[in-house]
Structure 1
Amino acid sequence: MLASQQQVARSSRTATMESGTFSKYSWVDFLFSVVGVCTFLLDWGSDVWVAKEFYCRGDFFWFGVLVGLMVLSSVVVQMFSWFWFQYDRELPGFSGEAGAGSVFCGDRVRIFCLLHVLQLGFLCRHISVIRQGFRVWWRKEGSEYAVYLTHDLSMLRLIETFCESAPQLILMVYVMLRTNRARTVQFVSVAASTTSIAWMVVDYHRSLRSFLPDKAKQRWGSSLIYFLWNLLLIGPRVAVLALFSSVLPGFIAPHFLLLWLVFLLWAWRQNTDFMDSAGGEWLYRATVGLIWYFSWFNVAEGRTRGRSLIYHSFVTVDAAILMLTWWFYRDPVQTEAYALILLTVLPLTYLLGLLLKALYYCCFHPKLWRPRDGAPRLPHDLPDAIVTFRDFSLQDQTPSSQLLNKRMSHLAANFYTASRVVRSSAGANGAESSCL
């Protein structure tokens, strides 16, 4: 009987892996890669244009801040890319398979290192993904490598967005508020940053969806709702920070450093396990602290409903303090046209974002149970799929021809699975779950 149950469980786990874990590279993936490059170049071009405008007009302080954000973002992204390159070289058979040399310059480590020092590693990855995607179409080979790299790009875009696009958006709104006027270049920069944030949200969620078992696959509607609630939460957050900066510009840096330190310690307390080295893990935690300054981000397995509630409560109180500070220190004459509107619209927009987030988790987020070892199985009609972290991350157990991106699979496990306590009482199985 026990052997029969083990065989059924093994067959179910294998079916989950085959149907949900190893996604195929499609024309949609190729389209996302091309649009991702265009978005990256548009954002980079708008940054250069804005920096040039600041410099030519003699606004050297704002010019320095913008260039500093660009350099910081680029350095952080290059560091992640370099760490991942080193990790991937240790994977059995990664560099030896057909197509790997075109992706990561084979074993020419010095060339790839030089590209990262010149801040070209991220762009090189974009180009490599497009080239590999074309190989999949033209020669029908290397599909696993193309999927592997698109998942890495989605995470790098996420990091680049919160390191550069979100702070740059605050800077542009701040400049508009301080000068009480807006030029074309500023509108272009705001549009580019907003587009970058929006594209990152959709692309990142799409990468997470690719790790779901077929039974729990989400439709495009889920990405739309995910995009909307993220944008409705990030937008007011950025606006409140810009408003606070417009009245007390000298306090925004201490505010960021204080909250970032709190978030960094919180990430450390959650025992994150994303990178393959101690230095890389601390880089990840520092980046998570930066992301949390703008938006919620799952970093650990287990019950996330409580952590999400703590985060949103903390950020809401912080935003209220910043908003009230702006209200009392603002210039009533200069802000008469929009002050009351912002005081009403921003909280309502944030509340709408929270409601859409609740709607997403109630109606669109799949129910994935992670049963404890030896726990009784749930009724078949309860979960959309029964998974374990192993189902998401089988890098060390799969052949080299079936590469699974361990990093993104780890994030997918954090996002889609929570600790589920499975128990039986009075002859029936029950589940205590959290979906956030």
Structure 2
Amino acid sequence: MNCATFPKYSLLDWFFTLIGVCTFLFDVGSDLWVARELYTRGELMWCGVFVGFMLLSSVVLQLFSWFWLQYDRDLKGFESQASAGNAVLFSGAKRVNLLLFLHVCQLGFFIRHISAIWQGFRVWWRKGCGSEYAVYLTHDLSMLRLIETFCESAPQLTLMMYIMLRSNHARLVQYVSVGASTTSIAWMVVDYHRSLRSFLPDKDKQGWLSSVVYFFWNLFLIGPRVASVALFASVLPCFIAAHFLLLWPIFVIWAWRQGTDFMDSPAGERLYRATIGLIWYFSWFNVAEGDTRDRSLIYHMFIIADTSILLTTWWLYRDAEMTQSYAFSLILSIPLCYVLGLLIKVLYYCCFHPKLWWPADLGKATYDVTDGVEPPVDVQVDGASFHTINKRMGRHAANFYTTNTSSAVKTNECVATNASVL
């Protein structure tokens, strides 16, 4: 085995994984602290809703994690790699039963972090050996963090803004918390996007300037969406659940109509489509092959119409006296921020989107891969021989970046099923 052929896993990657664990623990601790504050103030209903978001997110994450572990066991060599002392608590004949118990105890996501840290440390200690498996683990973590962001962080942020609006009073720390949460959500989308791009070969890496522009258009699109939902809830709290239950099935059906194929079983795919419906309630990202420009346009037009209805409802039902100091500013700034986000998104794809280079035998022409362009090359080959691919993320990268079925991606996906992770 030539360790030099594996995808590079740097010490910086290991530190980011370590920071991810710390962030995860801090997020859980801060959520429990907020729930305790709501409980002590006698707001039992909102305390229950807040904790409900935590439990829902945790259950969804454990289900995804367990499904993926089940699928990965079918990969040739994966079981021996995972049991070879490369992951904490992931060895021995009773490993599967232990993992099932940990997932039932809602610890599967945390154990994945620990496993990635341990494997990353071993890669650094062994100077590159096992790098491919470490990269495999980090890609799954990236997707799980994205799911957690929209299953827990976005709804909780909406609830925090609702409480501020209903009480018509907020401390400085609450403003800072809302700003930090919104920023964190937008940054998590950027982190996911950067992870997804690692499956594109012969590519210009996404630089810091490109990442910053990508971050801002997500910030200016997600922020107004969350704010408009919170404003609507502040005047008609009993109807916000009806609003979500009206839109969520529409998004799920749309995902089903697009023929998503992220998971490897019907049950897993149904879970994925249900999760996509929740994510689309707050933000857009592509999930299937096809003309993504048209889909994105349809989505944004739909969200603009829905947001306009939410803001109009808030304006008509608001307490004019209580909201006099900020009502006019909000009704203007929220639509303007969303439009600004769309303009920055167009600017990103026109000027800052990384380009792909065609392979040498196809010429040196550059190819700007947007959501609607097919990369004419294989995935997951940074100048290295193919050994394994996280086929879930590889398939998703193909769907995210292509319009037509990429034969290279499909070929590598079939090879991955029987490939060794060593």
TM-score between the two structures when normalised by the length of structure 1: 0.84
Q: Which residue of 1 aligns with 2:320?
A: 332
Matches within 5 A, 1:18-97: 23-97=7-81
Provide structure 2 residue ranges, at least 5 long, that are not aligned to the other structure: 407-422
Q: Which residue of 1 aligns with 2:412?
A: none
Q: Which residue of 1 aligns with 2:414?
A: none
Q: Distance in 1 between matches of 2:333 and 2:183?
A: 21
1:105 is aligned with what amino acid? F
2:396 is aligned with 1:408: no
Secondary structure of 1:383's aligned partner: strand
**Residue from 141, 147, 155 that aligns with 1:167:** 155
**Residue from 86, 105, 109 that aligns with 1:122:** 109
CA contact (8 A) 1:49 1:185 kept: no
RMSD: 2.6
2:179 is aligned with 1:200: no
**Residue from 314, 318, 331 that aligns with 2:302:** 314
CA contact (8 A) 1:95 1:101 kept: no
Q: Distance in 1 between matches of 2:266 and 2:405?
A: 29
Q: Distance in 1 between matches of 2:28 and 2:388?
A: 31
Q: Distance in 2 between matches of 1:190 and 1:412?
A: 31
Deviation at 1:221, TM superposition (A): 1.9
Deviates more, 1:273-282 or 1:22-31: 22-31
CA contact (8 A) 1:43 1:193 kept: no
Deviation at 1:186, TM superposition (A): 4.2
Deviation at 1:261, TM superposition (A): 0.3
Q: Which residue of 1 aligns with 2:402?
A: 417
Provide structure 1 residue ranges, at least 5 long, that are not aligned to the other structure: 1-17, 371-376, 422-436
CA contact (8 A) 1:300 1:414 kept: yes
Q: 1:38 to 1:411 in 2, by over 3 A?
A: same
Matches within 5 A, 1:235-246: 235-246=223-234
2:246 is aligned with what amino acid? L
- Matched positions, count: 391
CA contact (8 A) 2:142 2:191 kept: yes
Q: Which residue of 2 aligns with 1:361?
A: 349
CA contact (8 A) 2:289 2:405 kept: no
2:146 is aligned with what amino acid? L
Deviation at 1:156, TM superposition (A): 0.1
Q: 1:186 to 1:215 in 2, by over 3 A?
A: closer
Q: 1:264 to 1:139 in 2, by over 3 A?
A: same
Q: 1:418 to 1:369 in 2, by over 3 A?
A: farther
Q: Which residue of 1 aligns with 2:339?
A: 351
1:269-320 residue CA offsets vs partner (Å, 9 max, x unmatched) = 0000000000000000000000000000110012100000000000000000
Q: 1:316 to 1:173 in 2, by over 3 A?
A: same
Q: Distance in 2 between matches of 1:86 and 1:192?
A: 36
CA contact (8 A) 1:170 1:241 kept: yes
CA contact (8 A) 2:123 2:131 kept: yes
Q: Which residue of 2 aligns with 1:212?
A: 200
Secondary structure of 1:392's aligned partner: coil
1:96-151 residue CA offsets vs partner (Å, 9 max, x unmatched) = 13775433713511111111111010011111111111111112321111100100
Secondary structure of 1:95's aligned partner: helix
Deviates more, 1:97-106 or 1:210-219: 97-106
Q: Which residue of 1 aligns with 2:215?
A: 227
Q: Distance in 2 between matches of 1:178 and 1:100?
A: 54
Deviation at 1:206, TM superposition (A): 1.6
CA contact (8 A) 1:264 1:285 kept: yes
CA contact (8 A) 1:51 1:66 kept: yes
CA contact (8 A) 1:144 1:403 kept: yes
CA contact (8 A) 2:123 2:130 kept: yes
CA contact (8 A) 1:205 1:223 kept: no
Q: Which residue of 1 aligns with 2:415?
A: none
Question: Structure 1 stretches (4+) deviating beyond 4 angstroms?
Answer: 98-101, 183-189, 366-370, 377-380, 384-390
Of all paired residues, the percent bearing the same amino acid is: 66
Secondary structure of 1:412's aligned partner: helix
Q: 1:179 to 1:215 in 2, by over 3 A?
A: closer
**Residue from 86, 90, 105 that aligns with 1:102:** 86
